[in-house]
Amino acid sequence: MQTEIANNLFCGDHSWQLVINKNSKHETKIKELYTQHIQDSRPSINEPTADFGPLADDYKMSKLLMPKSDFTHDGLILPKSCEKYVTCWKISLNIALKLKKMIGRDSLVIDATANIGGITTALAKHFRYVAAYEINPDYFRVLEHNVNCYNFKNVTLINEDFTTISQFVTKPKAIIIDPPWYNHDASFNQDMNLSEVPLTELLTNLFTLCPDLLILVKLPDNYPVANYASIVFYKKMKFVIYDLPNWQKFNLDKEFQDFLRLSVQESL
């Protein structure tokens, strides 16, 4: 297969490459397959599918997933089980545009918690290189499907646990993290753990690997955040923007950390 290979992006246990197809037989086959998929009737909301399970209705689809270049959602997949985890596409695009103004278009941006591609596809629309991590193999298959359906060629997809990153080969300019707000037992995720790694520990590790990073963290709107962090507010959520200087302030501010722990415990 004839391809154009960009530089290695980063590595944890593996070294990943961004592969851009150039009119290859493989790409042609993908287009044929998805053209056929679009032509097929979309399963109803209550009809389980062998591949993706019950699907969300058209209203949820239009609210959560970005329209394709033909202004339709034909062929995209939104399982009902993913609805509560996907960021509305208008918010995702707004965040991508704000981030582009801060770091420029020709940047590598990582979506550390891609799910089925809500934020990933918005980033792919506005940045030259995007890498998307999704640990859940079922969600990853949907992510892969949706990215192909948009026909993005600038996205590297990794079915791995982002918290295992030990090294960046090409350093990203920004990382977006959307930690689960609730645990599997429906209790509140007090420390915003990602794969049992507390958010504070994860951010400290990332800034150690790459001090020039911007890290955007999606949090509940009432989750306490120090006033020296930049915050973009939306309905029921906010994106907190950390760089190394304001993260160092957080680490030194033991009084606020104690306040954070007490506030979150009182809200449980």
Q: Do the Cβ atoms of 211 and 218 come closer than 8 Å? A: no
Write down the pLDDT at residue 5. 33
Q: Which residues pair with 188 in a beta bridge?
A: 182
234-237 long-range contacts (CB < 8 A, ≥24 apart) are 234/91, 237/87, 237/91
Q: Cα(8)–Cα(249) distance, rounded to whole angstroms?
A: 33
Average pLDDT, the chain: 81
Backbone φ and ψ for 73, nearest 5 degrees, come out as -115, 15
Q: Which residues pair with 111 in a beta bridge?
A: 132, 176
127 in helix, strand or coil?
coil
Write down the pLDDT at residue 23. 44
Predicted TM-score (pTM) of the model is 0.78
Model pLDDT for residues 127-184, shown as the tens digit of each residue: 999 999 999 999 999 999 999 999 999 999 999 999 998 888 889 999 999 999 999 8
Q: Cα(41)–Cα(31) distance, rounded to whole angstroms?
A: 17
User: Tokens standing for 199?
Assistant: 């958010």
The band of 259, judged by pLDDT with boundaries at 50, 70 and 90, is low
Write down the pLDDT at residue 51. 64
Model pLDDT for residues 97-111, shown as the tens digit of each residue: 999 999 999 999 999
Backbone φ and ψ for 201, nearest 5 degrees, come out as -70, -40
User: Tokens standing for 106?
Assistant: 């020709």
For residue 227, which amino acid is it?
A: N
User: Tokens standing for 49?
Assistant: 């599918």
Over its C-alpha atoms, the chain yields an Rg (Å, rounded) of 19
- Domains of the chain (ranges, CATH numbers): 3-267 (3.40.50.150)
Q: What percent of the chain has pLDDT over 70?
A: 75
